């Protein structure tokens, strides 16, 4: 038997391949034409699947347009999108978020609170699953514009427009000065009471701080007057005038419209020293920090010297203020758990609340520096009496 000629076999296979390629090309072209033709529609026989070959490439990922890609990328690097943050992970062990907390720590809870999901507005009736963040629809929900007012922790009903509703809802605090006044009413200023506990104004209180005395964030001492809402000059009108709504970063260009620096912490208008240092070359931010540090030290001195129960502060652990019976600067523990401070007097609680309200807003110097300085000064002045501190010697300015 003679062996087949290898050359003839190769030529034959080449011919078959060419026919197959031609057939596929014709089929692809036909399929594309058929998909765009009028016969594919109502009344046509669609029982058989239609396979469409893609038009000629090449296709690469970078050439595929994603709507709002730049904005999504900006948001993904912000605190609102950080799913690993304590603000969104705090309830992981429970597997669900408490209804009241879910309003600001879950997009589902936020939409439910304002009735944006079709439900009746108000705190969700049941816990919300964990895993959410402040997503796009939190601020871009088409019905958010129907929210025209927000009730602050103080009870003040504040009018809002558009996305401002989201900002004020979650940056207006959870407790206010009226809560402190109610808790301490009728109690002796310097006697510990078992009925008192630490009241937490909450965190990132920019909206409430900006509204000042009108918003009622801090405990305001009787007989004192306090600054109201801090209104920047144009073009600053809303939160988004300074904060990029997606990255949350401060726009330096906005600052430079009126100020000589784009670094907010270096900005200062007042030509007097509020912290007694005499230095008016630093930003007003530093005066607020210095007075805050001084107030915290006075709070600790008051707890140790007047109340007789030393207190320590731990900003990483709720409820932040702990008992320190032996005065060694380390919080006490019982059965492996930290002992929360429980010797609150009305005077100490008022000062502590104001200190926390100011320190919980890292942007207080820009949101409302006058109000922040007033709360700190008056709290120090109130503690100074029983501590025997001469406020004049501190050379502070209210």
| Structural domains in the chain (count) | 2
Residues 245, 286 within the same domain:
yes
Residues 133, 193 within the same domain:
no
Of 8-12, 246-250, 264-268, 368-372, the range with the lowest mean pLDDT is 8-12
If DSSP states are collapsed to H, E and C, what string results for the chain? CCCCCHHHHHHHHHHHHHHHHHHHHHHHHHHHHHHHCCCCCCCCCCCCCCCCCCCCCCCCHHHCCCCCHHHHHHHHCCHHHCCCCHHHHCCCCCCEECHHHHHHHCHHHHHHHCCCCCCCCCCCCCCEECCCCCCHHHHHCCCHHHCCEEECCCCCEEECCCCHHHHHHHCCCCCCHHHHHHHHCCCCCCCCCCCCCCCCCCCCCHHHHHHHHHHCCCCCCCCCCCCCCCCCCCCCCCHHHCECCCCCCECHHHHHCCCCCCCHHHCCCCCCCCCCCCCCCCCHHHHHHHHHHHHHHHHHHHHHHHHCCCEEECCCCCCCEEECCCCCCCCCEECCEECECCCCCHHHHHHHHHHHHHHCCCCHHHHHHHHHHHHHHHHHHHHHHHHCCCHHHHCCCC
Residues 245, 357 within the same domain:
yes
Distance of CA 389 to the CA centre of its chain: 37
Of 146, 162, 195, the residue at which a domain comes to its end is: 146
Residues 117, 235 within the same domain:
no
Considering the domain boundaries, does residue 179 fall inside one?
Answer: yes
Considering the domain boundaries, does residue 320 fall inside one?
Answer: no
Residues 133, 189 within the same domain:
no
Considering the domain boundaries, does residue 316 fall inside one?
Answer: no
pLDDT in tens, 278-324: 999 999 999 999 999 999 999 999 999 999 999 999 999 999 999 99
Residues 388, 257 within the same domain:
yes
Considering the domain boundaries, does residue 271 fall inside one?
Answer: yes
pTM, to two decimals: 0.83
Residues 283, 390 within the same domain:
yes
Residues 259, 381 within the same domain:
yes
pLDDT at residue 47 in the model: 62
pLDDT at residue 262 in the model: 84
β-pair type (128-129, 321-323): unpaired
Considering the domain boundaries, does residue 156 fall inside one?
Answer: no
Considering the domain boundaries, does residue 29 fall inside one?
Answer: no
Of 104, 130, 146, the residue at which a domain comes to its end is: 146
The answer to whether the CB of 172 falls within 8 A of the CB of 205 is: yes
Burial class (CB within 10 angstroms; exposed 0-12, middle 13-18, buried 19+) of 378: buried
pLDDT in tens, 319-342: 999 999 999 999 999 998 999 999
Residues 78, 223 within the same domain:
no
Considering the domain boundaries, does residue 207 fall inside one?
Answer: yes
Domain of residue 379, residue span: 175-308+343-398
- Tell me which residue of 87, 143, 84 sits closest to 111, measured CA to CA: 143
pLDDT in tens, 123-153: 999 999 999 999 999 999 999 999 999 999 9
Of 55-64, 272-281, 379-388, the range with the lowest mean pLDDT is 55-64
pLDDT in tens, 149-200: 999 999 999 999 999 999 999 999 999 999 999 999 999 999 999 999 999 9
Residues 109, 187 within the same domain:
no
Residues 349, 274 within the same domain:
yes
Considering the domain boundaries, does residue 162 fall inside one?
Answer: no
Residue 202: how many CB atoms within 10 A of its CB? 19
Residues 79, 219 within the same domain:
no
- Tell me which residue of 289, 292, 297, 311 sits closest to 354, measured CA to CA: 292
């Amino acid at each position: 038997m003679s062996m087949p000629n290898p050359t003839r076999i190769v030529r034959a296979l080449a011919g078959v391949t060419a026919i197959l390629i031609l057939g596929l090309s014709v089929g692809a072209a036909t399929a594309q034409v058929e998909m765009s033709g009028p016969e594919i529609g109502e009344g046509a026989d669609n029982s058989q699947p239609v396979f469409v070959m893609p038009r000629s490439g090449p296709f690469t990922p970078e050439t595929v347009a994603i709507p709002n890609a730049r904005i999504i990328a900006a948001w993904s690097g912000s605190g609102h999108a950080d799913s690993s943050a304590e603000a969104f992970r705090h309830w992981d062990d429970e597997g669900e978020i408490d209804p009241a907390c879910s309003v600001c720590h879950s997009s589902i809870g936020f939409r439910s609170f304002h009735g944006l999901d079709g439900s009746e507005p108000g705190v969700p009736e049941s816990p919300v699953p964990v895993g959410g963040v402040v997503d796009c629809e939190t601020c871009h929900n088409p019905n958010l514009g129907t929210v025209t007012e927000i009730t602050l922790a103080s009870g003040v009903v504040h009018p809002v427009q558009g996305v401002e509703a989201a900002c004020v809802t979650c940056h207006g605090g959870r407790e206010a000065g009226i809560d402190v006044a109610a808790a301490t009413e009728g109690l002796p200023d310097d006697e510990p009471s078992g009925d008192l506990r630490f009241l937490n104004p909450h965190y990132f209180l920019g909206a409430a701080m900006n509204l000042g005395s009108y918003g009622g964030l801090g405990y305001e001492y009787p007989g004192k007057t306090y600054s109201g809402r801090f209104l920047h000059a144009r073009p600053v009108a809303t939160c988004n005038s300074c904060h990029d709504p997606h990255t949350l970063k401060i726009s330096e260009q906005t600052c430079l419209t009126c100020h000589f620096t784009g670094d907010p912490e270096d900005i200062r208008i007042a030509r007097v020293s509020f912290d007694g240092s005499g230095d008016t070359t630093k930003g007003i931010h530093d005066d607020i920090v210095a007075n805050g540090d001084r107030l915290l030290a006075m709070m600790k001195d008051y707890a140790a010297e007047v109340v007789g129960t030393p207190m320590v502060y731990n900003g990483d652990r709720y409820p932040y203020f702990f008992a320190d019976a032996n005065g060694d600067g380390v919080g006490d523990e019982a059965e492996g758990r930290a002992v929360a401070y429980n010797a609150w007097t009305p005077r100490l609680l008022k000062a502590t609340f104001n200190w926390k309200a100011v320190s919980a807003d890292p942007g207080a110097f820009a949101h409302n520096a006058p109000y922040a300085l007033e709360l700190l000064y008056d709290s120090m002045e109130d503690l100074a009496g029983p501590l025997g501190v001469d406020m004049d010697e501190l050379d502070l300015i209210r």
